[in-house]
Structure 1
Amino acid sequence: MNFKALSLALLLAGASTVQAAEGQLSIGTEGAYPPWSMADAAGNVTGFDADVGNLLCEKLAMKCKFVVQAFDGLIPALKANRFDVIISGMSITQDRKKEIDFSVGYAELANMFVVPKSSDLAGIKDIDALLKGLEGKSIGVQTGTTHAHFVEKRIPSANLKTYDTLENMQIDLTSGRIDAAFADASALQDFLSKPDGKDFQFVDVKVQSKFDSTLGEGIGVGISKDNPELKAKIDEALCTLVADGSIGKASQKWFKMDISRPCN
């Protein structure tokens, strides 16, 4: 590598650290996963992710800048220094930790399946019976999520269909092109509360990380591996925001429940 190329590489490698040091924290988020993050036509982001980001920026005395990015492109974009951190309802998993660092977990999800009320799956209340009942079924998940990995591992006979957005998955569910949708309960509750969801229901089984490690270790902020100083600051800030109830209050606002995860 010549001197100019080396200089450019070093500049790119430090871009996110420099930007954060200048008082701005750029945050990658999906913007199409209500109520976690929603982006309007002007690029303005609202939702639980946005509230967590704004709380974090306030605690760090930084200005937030949200960057909308498809979920399956968030980690590659972080590694390419398009933004400083990811705040997008992202579960902490061993596979993802090979690519990037994570903050402490600040939220915990309940993952659930949604099916038509007329489905033979609707009355199941046991995880083993549910997994058996889903064998051979068409199951919708969002691309690149822990839900996709779980279905691939635990229900290999299922016809797995992946979608770039939650909305597109819900369209196929309502049209009968898939038998079930799998995502976090908070996101699917938004669908069930609308007219399009009136003929659908949750299967009464909360699929949690204790059933399989592919579901992760809580929700965390994704951070570049070359930015340990920023990780330390974010960890400290998140623990404070959970302890003082700020993140719990934000989750009550968007989910009508407290999904915050204590640091200890």
Structure 2
Amino acid sequence: MKLKLISVAALLSLSMGIAAHAAEGELVIGTEGAYPPFSMADANGNVTGFDADVGNAVCEKLALKCRFVVQAFDGLIPALNAKRFDVIISGMSITEERGKQIDFSRSYGEFPNNFIAKKGTELADAKDIETLKADLSGLRVGVQGGTTHAAYVEKNMPDVQLMTYDTLDQMQIDLASGRLDSSFADASAQSDFLAKPDGAEFQMVDVVIDSSSDATLGTGLGIGIRKDETELKEKINEALCELGREGTLKTSSEKWFKMDISQTCD
């Protein structure tokens, strides 16, 4: 990793694993920037959202400055391994499949997932997972490509017409225009769509799908780290535990989601 000597005092303030990641005192973070309220990038590349808060808070704990790099979600892991940035913070679920390519920090949050359906349809009234699967059969279901949502539908609902999108915005445009019958995403993203004029004719299906439903959905949100960066992982885990104990993750979670999705150390 790039490193320019700052000063002896500055280097001593960074423990051994972290110094190798301090490019002029920066920790470079890859994020999607188009998945509200996790991460949103404006025209100038400024990133806000829950994951931006998490990244900035971790950087503060590590005495580093954050720099965010916006990257399409399905390209985040290849870009991390190509050393385009140091870590991924982008609402990424910790899964066994992703764990074959990269390592993860401890979980810093977990969110339930839901399908959306047009009001008045049989799908909208589904109350259990088996009814939900039956009602979705043959329908056009939108997901964001490269996500656990896509993997879950592919594995568990082979009879749907699965449509993948690069961004949430693209998926929601097709849902509102009638080119999709339903979409599957985390409850926060779905609620964000329902609050817009385009979402007025839709509702959340009551069936909540979380990590206990299927291992495909992962075990919470984690910070992606290259497999050879064990010391950085340790320091990030320490920072996340401190942020959890201090209530920083809870405060940011409630700010962006109106609920506490944070996970803390035991």
**Common topology (TM > 0.5):** yes
Deviation at residue 215 of structure 1 after TM alignment: 0.3
1:227 paired residue number: 229
Tell me whether 1:40 sits opposite 2:38 in the alignment. Answer: no
Give the 3 Å change call, closer, same or farther, for CA 139–24 of structure 1 in structure 2. Answer: same
1:108 paired residue number: 110
Deviation at residue 21 of structure 1 after TM alignment: 6.4
Which of these residues, 186, 208, 211, is aligned with residue 210 of structure 2? Answer: 208
RMSD of aligned alpha carbons: 1.4
Which of these residues, 235, 248, 251, is aligned with residue 250 of structure 2? Answer: 248
In structure 1, distance between residues paired with 2:63 and 2:189: 30
Deviation at residue 181 of structure 1 after TM alignment: 0.4
CA contact (8 A) 1:25 1:64 kept: yes
Q: TM-score, normalised by structure 2?
A: 0.91
Question: Where do 1:42-191 residues align within 5 Å?
Answer: 42-191=44-193
Deviation at residue 22 of structure 1 after TM alignment: 4.5
Q: Percent identity?
A: 64
Equivalent AA in structure 1 for residue 263 of structure 2: R
Deviations 1:9-59 (A, max 9, x none): x98xxxx97343642110000000011111011100011111111111111
Equivalent AA in structure 1 for residue 227 of structure 2: K
Equivalent AA in structure 2 for residue 94 of structure 1: E
Give the 3 Å change call, closer, same or farther, for CA 192–174 of structure 1 in structure 2. Answer: same
Give the 3 Å change call, closer, same or farther, for CA 202–110 of structure 1 in structure 2. Answer: same
In structure 2, distance between residues paired with 1:20 and 1:36: 25
Deviations 1:211-244 (A, max 9, x none): 1100000000000111111000000110111122
1:195 paired residue number: 197
* Partner SS state of residue 261, structure 1: coil
Deviates more, 1:71-80 or 1:182-191: 182-191
Equivalent AA in structure 2 for residue 80 of structure 1: A
Deviations 1:78-123 (A, max 9, x none): 0000000000000000000000000000100101001111321111
Which of these residues, 256, 259, 262, is aligned with residue 260 of structure 1? Answer: 262
In structure 1, distance between residues paired with 2:121 and 2:263: 34
Equivalent AA in structure 1 for residue 195 of structure 2: S
In structure 2, distance between residues paired with 1:130 and 1:20: 48
In structure 1, distance between residues paired with 2:19 and 2:178: 47
CA contact (8 A) 1:27 1:86 kept: yes
Q: Give the count of matched residue pairs.
A: 251
Deviations 1:133-184 (A, max 9, x none): 1111111000000000000000011100000000000011011111100000
* Partner SS state of residue 122, structure 1: helix
In structure 1, distance between residues paired with 2:105 and 2:134: 35
Deviation at residue 263 of structure 1 after TM alignment: 2.4
CA contact (8 A) 1:17 1:227 kept: no
Deviates more, 1:124-133 or 1:168-177: 124-133
Equivalent AA in structure 1 for residue 39 of structure 2: S
Q: TM-score, normalised by structure 1?
A: 0.92
In structure 2, distance between residues paired with 1:129 and 1:263: 37
Equivalent AA in structure 1 for residue 231 of structure 2: E
* Partner SS state of residue 20, structure 2: helix
